[in-house]
Amino acid sequence: MQKTLMRIPYTGPLPAPYIIPRNANTPTGAIAALSKFLTAPPAPALQDHRGCDTRSTVILSGAGISVASGLADYRGTNGTYRQNKTYRPIYYHEFLANHEARKRYWARSFLGWTNLHKAKPNAAHYAIKDLGDIGIVRSVVTQNVDSFHSIAHPDLPTLELHGYLRALICVTCGNDLPREAFQESLTKLNPAWAAFLAEAIASGALDTENPEERRSKGMKTNPDGDADLPGAPYSTFRYPACPHCLANPLISADGTQTNVEVDKEGAWKPTSNAGVLKPAVVMFGESIPGKVKEAAEQAIDGSGRLLVLGTSLATYSAWRLARRAKERGMPIAIVNLGGVRGEEAFFQELAVGQQGEAGVRVEMKTDKLLPGLVEQLRRTGHDASNPVDDQHTNSGVFKDMLS
């Protein structure tokens, strides 16, 4: 089976969206169109698809849905990188092979974690919970690594396509470690950095989502908990070893004993050949686990329509899911500020005069729009007393993903 790799996102400018239907350019019109989309009869193209709940909806979400929680977004309304146009994420092979690259990664993550950790789900996440309770939304596939979906709606199956930041995984033994405990270790190992972080928090540099304000206070941030401090002495940063590998060194695949060494304060030493901890996210250049890829495809194949929220689909792993939905003949609705990669192809051949039942394109904030949509659906009789049958049939598929 061909592995799916995380690729650098599509970075070209994206055209302004064409609103569909035309009256969806106001909150009232957008809610009316999305209501029709979510409650329309099943698409004719899906009638012969076995195992498909044709009346249900799968959501595909991205960083834009978490902006109202205080997290940054990657793109602005012109479709180009807004926060840091020179941003280049670390690649998986660099992280594994280069001690200095890991120092830089963990130093930036140490600074960015505070803002991510204190952030909470917003109205959009809880509106998705309501859509699940109503029986309209069947499952969620998210590119986000903030865990807000699983916090806001633990009973609605959620697949974290790119992993999550709430834990770390050892690349040697596979054991995990809670991020809170790891952050405490980083604080103890890096007192000067911890003091700088305290100053940054006191200055308010981490309290604003405005990139210009953050840059004026010396920081650049990204939605994945990464904070860049230009000119920072990253080489001084230290990080701990996997406690399990340190206590119980493993035998490697070639039969040799692994070696994990730490300094007197517990920092990983480059003389080690094991015990490296990585975030439980899929890094660029790293394969998306096969079971996650298959579960995402099953989420698409098992639903009758796709609702895209807060993403430009710039990352290939997300864009291909929308393409899969289109190829299956699923109606697609997109709610996103700014353009979406290849969106014109998703709305080809819509019937003249359709009012949202076959496709919707809206350019509005999800936290403002979705609660009103829930209210509209409930007013029109789509409530929890009349749920769609088998609304959570993806629960088994996602069971192993909800660690």
- Per-residue pLDDT tens digits for 168-200: 999 999 999 999 999 999 999 999 999 988 888
Count of other CB atoms within 10 angstroms of residue 169: 18
pLDDT at 61 exceeding the cut of 70: yes
Q: What is the pLDDT of residue 385?
A: 39
The lowest-confidence range among 3-17, 153-167, 305-319 is 3-17
Q: What is the pLDDT of residue 217?
A: 53
Residue type at position 17:
P
pLDDT at 366 exceeding the cut of 90: yes
pLDDT band at 219 (very low <50, low <70, confident <90, very high): low
pLDDT band at 70 (very low <50, low <70, confident <90, very high): confident
Q: Are residues 104 and 243 in the same domain?
A: yes
Is residue 7 in some structural domain?
A: no
pLDDT, averaged across the chain: 86
Q: What is the pLDDT of residue 253?
A: 85
User: Residue 200's domain spans which residues?
Assistant: 92-120+165-281
The lowest-confidence range among 121-135, 218-232, 294-308, 343-357 is 218-232
pLDDT band at 125 (very low <50, low <70, confident <90, very high): very high
| Tally of domains within the chain | 2
| More reliable by pLDDT, 47 or 103 | 103
Residue type at position 221:
T
- Active site (catalytic) residues: 162
Ranges 59-63, 200-204, 223-227, most confident: 59-63
End-of-domain residue from the set 234, 255, 281: 281
The lowest-confidence range among 71-75, 259-263, 264-268 is 71-75
Residue 52 annotated in ligand binding: no
Cα(224)–Cα(209) distance, integer angstroms? 13
Is residue 387 in some structural domain?
A: yes
Q: What is the pLDDT of residue 231?
A: 66
Is residue 46 in some structural domain?
A: yes
Q: What is the pLDDT of residue 229?
A: 67
pLDDT at 5 exceeding the cut of 70: no
pLDDT band at 71 (very low <50, low <70, confident <90, very high): confident
Is residue 131 in some structural domain?
A: yes
pTM score, two decimals?
A: 0.86
Determine contact, residues 304/57, Cβ cutoff 8 Å: yes
Q: Are residues 390 and 366 in the same domain?
A: yes
Determine contact, residues 252/125, Cβ cutoff 8 Å: no
Q: Are residues 148 and 185 in the same domain?
A: no
pLDDT band at 81 (very low <50, low <70, confident <90, very high): very low
Residues 13-32 have pLDDT tens digits of 788 899 999 999 999 999 99
Dihedral of the CA atoms 296, 53, 37, 28 (nearest 10)? -80
Residue 242 annotated in ligand binding: yes
Q: Are residues 154 and 181 in the same domain?
A: no
Q: Are residues 104 and 251 in the same domain?
A: yes
> If we measure between CA atoms, which residue out of 287, 368, 314, 289 comes closest to residue 60?
314
Residue 170 annotated in ligand binding: yes
Q: Are residues 129 and 29 in the same domain?
A: yes
pLDDT at 225 exceeding the cut of 70: no
Determine contact, residues 15/21, Cβ cutoff 8 Å: no
| More reliable by pLDDT, 152 or 227 | 152
Is residue 17 in some structural domain?
A: no
Q: What is the pLDDT of residue 397?
A: 40
Q: What is the pLDDT of residue 391?
A: 41
Is residue 32 in some structural domain?
A: yes
Residue 245 annotated in ligand binding: yes
Is residue 13 in some structural domain?
A: no
Three-class HEC string of the chain: CCCCECCCCCCCCCCCCCCECHHHHCHHHHHHHHHHHHHCCCCHHHCCCCCCEEEEEEEEECHHHHHHHCCCCCECCCCCECCCCCCCCCEHHHHHHCHHHHHHHHHHHHHHHHHHHHCCCCHHHHHHHHHHHHCCEEEEEECCCCCHHHHHCCCCCEEECCEEEEEEEECCCCCEEEHHHHHHHHHHHCHHHHHHHHHHHHHCCCCCCCHHHHHHCCCEEECCCEEECCCCCHHHCCCECCHHHHHCCCECCCCCECCCCECCCCEECCCCCCCCEEEEECCECCECCHHHHHHHHHHHHCEEEEEEECCCCCCHHHHHHHHHHHHHCCCEEEECCCCCCCHHHHCCCCCCCCCCCCEEEECCCHHHHHHHHHHHHHHCCCCCCCCCCCCCCCHHHHHHHCC
Q: Is 79 left (phi over 0), alpha (psi -120 to 50) or beta?
A: left
Q: Are residues 132 and 115 in the same domain?
A: no
- Residues pairing with 169 in the sheet: 176, 278
pLDDT at 210 exceeding the cut of 60: no
Is residue 11 in some structural domain?
A: no
Q: Extract the tokens encoding 360.
A: 């919707």
End-of-domain residue from the set 248, 281, 314: 281
Q: Are residues 181 and 323 in the same domain?
A: no
Q: Are residues 110 and 245 in the same domain?
A: yes
Total residues belonging to the chain? 403
Cα(149)–Cα(156) distance, integer angstroms? 9
Give the CATH number of the domain where residue 146 resides: 3.40.50.1220
Q: Are residues 247 and 322 in the same domain?
A: no
Residues 309-327 have pLDDT tens digits of 999 999 999 999 999 999 9
Q: What is the pLDDT of residue 241?
A: 98
Q: What is the pLDDT of residue 389?
A: 41
Q: Are residues 323 and 265 in the same domain?
A: no
Q: Are residues 27 and 144 in the same domain?
A: yes
End-of-domain residue from the set 226, 251, 281: 281
pLDDT at 396 exceeding the cut of 50: no
